[in-house]
Structure 1
Amino acid sequence: MRRNRGQITVDEALDDIRSGDLIAAGMYTAEPKQIFRRIHEICGRVRNVSLWTCLLGEDYPFITDPAYWDTFRFYSIFNGPQMRRCMKEGAGAFLPNNLCYLGEEQVARRTPDIYFGAATLPEEDGTLWLAPSLQTELENFRAAKIRILELNPHVPRIFGASKIHMEDLDGYILSDAPVFDNPMPLPGETDRAIARRVAALIHDGDTIQFGIGRLPEAISDALMEKRDLGIHTEMLGNSLGRLIRAGVVTNARKNFLPGESVVGFVWGSREFYDFIDSRQDIRIEPSRFVNDACIIGKNDNLVSVNSALSVDLTGQVCSESIGTLQYSGTGGAMDFAMGAFRSKGGRGIIAMPSTTGNGRISRITAVLAPGSAVSIQRGYTDYVITEYGTARLRGRTIPERAEALIGIAHPAFRDRLREDAERAGYLS
């Protein structure tokens, strides 16, 4: 039974926190901004409070000011700059994960004492919709001993598994805070060169998945002449939103859940949120469904496009760490790589610039740097694309893979890569 306190204040929400509690919180559009702006005020009253966290929309005092870190212990599923600093100082830890199973793993590890999140304003019958981020939020919301949401008119309503009722809450806070957004970045010429190669592998009627950033924006530009694309994606952002708006995405040829763009969370600009609000052709489901490789594979001609920090000459993909530094997270990279393999006619694409560090470092390496996470096991690496070409790895031997990847590396690094490949025994 829920306490159903109705509307409460931020002070009352903070009073619910006790020493030793585990707090699970919504991410992206579901971030509880009013609470996060003041949660540092519990310091001195309680201790040893654990908090699941991810990328954050603001530099909140509780995570940016080390003075508060004695009170909190942060557990991250995807690092941003704030969390990288916390981990460096020993105030946080990263949980390796595949997003498909993460919500269940969190709850199995420990039941959250409190869930803080966000939702739409209620309808007349008390129905409301969780903010459109169901990566782990639904599992944690359902399991939490105390559930408190910020109800916010700026939260876009996306139909699907996000539907709840006011009776499901222990209390709510009215909020007018702007939703965590992500303005549209401008692609560069390298991004556009890569995007043209990606677009050549995507055909009319395919179902697509990709994420956020300059490269996905360039890919969406390159797909504007395609027809009847479908969407089954972990994240729906500005780039895919533009394809929906342009009529390129219709979902008409999807064999699985036709007519619907299936998503796990949304993150984009304010204009994007306004555009997708209450659309009947967008359906949100938890990552346990969206990122399940067996579910992904039910979509024929599923094309997954993700990026990477580095790829070695055997096809191992690192998308989350720089050596031992946990830079970001796995997200759904492995989930969708496996799903694309299961899809009839599916293709898995790793698209990335050939270099980083202003051209000083090759992203294609003979071996991954010591300590690097293998985000995608080489057996699931299909295509790798840079601005210099497309390498097909699926069904290829180690020497064939090495030759193909050297061929799409930046020309300045090819001779060294070949020498390293020969030294490693990949080439003779």
Structure 2
Amino acid sequence: MNVQEIYKNKLIGVEEALSKVNTGDHIISALAAAEPREFLSKLHLIADRVKDVTVSTCLPMANYEYFTNESYSDSFLLEGWFYTPAIRNAHKDGRATFIPNHLHFAGTKRVQHKKCNILVGTASPMDKHGYLSLSLSSTYEREIAEKADLVILEVNPNMPKTFGDTTIHISEIDHVIETNYPVPELPVSEPNEKDKIIGKYIAELVEDGSTIQLGIGGIPNAVASELVNKKDLGIHTEMFTDGMVDLYNAGAINGSKKTLMPRKMIATFALGTKKLYDFINDNPAVQILNGNWVNDPYVIGKNHKMVSINTTLEMDLSGQCCSESIGHVQFSGTGGQSDTAVGAQMSIGGKSIIALYSTANIRVPGSDQDQRKTVSKIVTRLTHGATVSLSRNDVDYVVTEYGVVNLRGTSIRDRVNLLISIAHPDFRDQLRQEAKELRL
């Protein structure tokens, strides 16, 4: 039987795909823009015949009924590796819960705990040899495809064909659903003035010939815009972004100095605009590889002059970073922050950079939305219940709009003085007094 016949035999509709779901099943969905929209948007329609179905996912791009509508609470529970606003709302009502993880172990540890009955994802169309591409993510998808009872993929001609561990043969897939919808996009956040100041400080730390990891948001975008005049940069990153496309087109990125996979831009998933998707489509210079390899700190450390750039929500005077919760309330996730920060410091000439604004404008507890106050994001104690995403042992450079400090090898006394020096001036005296009272 040729590959076209095999494909035809595995072609089903979304309703038939949903019929494969049973009570108590564990479904794992592909990450972010690689998620299967048709399957997930109709999953709630089988709520009357299933109970206790768990869906593990990361960065869902849409607010699907199965976890946003309280009517389906008995049928579905979302367990997320990284929260979005929709998951945060579902969490409040008991329809979602968080999976603590370092990204490189997310899929591995999940299936050690809970067998995957169904992997659902997306793919670009099959080629003449019978191969499809998992397209925008191999964070955990390729690994789970080898362990799941059933693999169901939505084949979409709009999904870019990518190279690396995204390649999968039709013989490894149980069912395909043909779809045709636009690839979800993440608009580029325009940097504000604080972002631009921080971006300039960070860019000064990045030497020519460095290999970089960037995330999403105003600060990473500001960093990317400040790196355009650098030379011979390389990419080894968790997430491939629009800013990296701009740097490549500007000539700043060529990967010629990379010590691990020279001239290849390495990522574990891609998320951005159509410009990004067009750039990675059928582009062998971009390799989407398994997250358990890309984000392994020991692998990251093999890149000479590796620079990781991450952000945090709050930092205490010893260097502990809370990057994923507001007090006890889960806000996002650890993701690859610890993976990349530790890996960069294993690199010869490497640097790990944590960036944050010096202050935040927050709602006064117990008040309405109009009553707000400015607080320092560098604090003597993390907010009660806060999650430590990056331990103080693993923090290197710290950047705010007031400057840069290097905590590598420093004592707590040193850290107190260094971090207060880049805190907002309005809070420095208070921080010094509190530090003395706590004998820091």
Please give the secondary structure, in 1, of the residue aligned with 2:434: helix
Which residue in the other structure is 1:280 paired with?
284
Is 1:31 matched with 2:45? no
Secondary structure of 1:218's aligned partner: helix
Structure 2 SS opposite 1:13? helix
CA distance in 1, matches of 2:128, 2:177: 18
Q: Determine the structure 1 residue equivalent to 2:18.
A: 14
Deviation at 1:4, TM superposition (A): 8.1
* Equivalent pair of 1:47/1:71 in contact (CA under 8 Å): yes
Greater displacement, 350-359 / 385-394: 350-359
Match of 1:369 in 2: 383
SS at match of 2:298: helix
CA deviation digits over 1:43-88, x for unaligned, max 9? Answer: 1111111110222211221122111122101111111111112221
Matched, 1:303 2:317: no
| Conserved 8 A contact 2:316-2:379 | yes
SS at match of 2:55: strand
Contact 1:303 1:347 in 2 (8 A): yes
Contact 2:67–2:77 under 8 Å retained in 1: no
Long gaps (5+) in structure 1: none
The 2-side partners of 1:179 and 1:294 are apart by 33
Equivalent in the alignment of 2:370: none
Equivalent of 1:139, from 122, 138, 143?
A: 143
TM-score, reference length from structure 1: 0.97
Q: Tell me by how many angstroms 1:138 deviates.
A: 1.6
Which of 396, 405, 416 does residue 410 from structure 2 map onto?
A: 396
Match for residue 348 of structure 1?
A: 352
Say if 1:112 and 1:4 are closer, same or farther in 2 by CA, change over 3 A: farther
Please state if 1:82 is matched with 2:86. Answer: yes
Aligned match for 1:318, one of 288, 301, 322:
322
1:202 and 2:206 matched: yes
Which structure 1 residue ranges, 4+ long, deviate > 3 Å from structure 2? 2-5
Deviations 1:331-363 (A, max 9, x none): 000011110111011100001111112671211
Tell me the distance in 1 between the aligned counterparts of 2:176 and 2:29.
14
Please say if 1:156 is aligned against 2:160. Answer: yes
The aligned counterpart of 2:420 is 406
Map Cα deviations across residues 94-117 of structure 1 (whole Å, 9 max, x no partner). 111111111111111122111110
Partner of residue 385, structure 1: 399
- SS of 1:357's equivalent in the other structure is strand
2:236 aligned counterpart, secondary structure: strand
Q: Is the contact made by 1:54 and 1:78 (CA closer than 8 Å) also made in structure 2?
A: yes
Within 5 Å, which residues of 2 pair with 1:144-293?
Answer: 144-293=148-297
Give the aligned residue type for 1:128.
L
Contact between 1:234 and 1:263, CA under 8 Å: does it hold in 2? yes
Is the Cα–Cα contact under 8 Å of residues 356 and 399 in structure 2 kept in the other structure?
Answer: yes
Unaligned runs of 5+ in 2: 1-5, 363-372
Residue aligned with 2:121, SS: strand
What value does the CA root-mean-square deviation take over the aligned residues? 1.4
Q: CA deviation at 1:171?
A: 1.0
User: Equivalent residue of 1:233, what SS?
Assistant: coil
Q: Give the AA of the match of 1:282.
A: V
Alpha-carbon distance in 1 for matches of 2:169, 2:33: 19
Residues of 2 paired with 1:155 and 1:417: CA distance? Answer: 50
1:245 CA displacement: 2.0
| Counterpart selection for 2:101 from 87, 97, 112 | 97
1:212 and 1:239 in contact (8 A); partners too: no
The TM-score, its normalising length taken from structure 2, stands at: 0.94
Look up the SS of the partner of 1:249 in the other structure: coil
Residue 246 (structure 1) shift:
1.6
Q: Which residue does 1:70 correspond to in 2?
A: 74
Letter of the structure 2 residue corresponding to residue 140 of structure 1: I
Aligned to 1:93, the other structure's residue is in SS state strand
Contact 1:3–1:170 (CA under 8 A) maintained in structure 2:
no
Following the alignment from structure 1 to structure 2, what is the Cα–Cα distance between the partners of residues 245 and 7? 39
What fraction of aligned residue pairs are identical, expressed as a percent? Answer: 40
Q: Secondary structure at the match of 2:404?
A: strand
Quote the Cα distance in structure 1 between the aligned partners of 2:74 and 2:164.
Answer: 40
Aligned to 2:54: 50
**What is the one-letter code of the residue matched to 1:405?**
L
Matched positions, count = 425
| Conservation of the 8 A alpha-carbon contact between 1:8 and 1:172 | yes
1-structure distance, mates of 2:400, 2:156: 42
Superposed CA deviations along residues 232-255 of structure 1, whole A, max 9, x for unmatched, are 101111112211222211000111
Report the AA paired with residue 326 of structure 1. Q
Q: Does 1:121 align with 2:125?
A: yes
Amino acid aligned to 1:135: T
> Displacement of 1:415 after TM fit?
1.2
Aligned 8 A contact 2:33 2:61 in 1: no
Aligned residue type for 2:396: D
Instruction: Report the 3-state secondary structure (helix = DSSP H, G, I; strand = E; otherwise coil) of the residue aligned with 1:344.
Output: coil
Tell me, yes or no, if structure 1 residue 41 matches structure 2 residue 55: no
DSSP-derived class of the 1:38 partner = helix
- The Cα of 1:137 is off from its aligned counterpart by 1.3
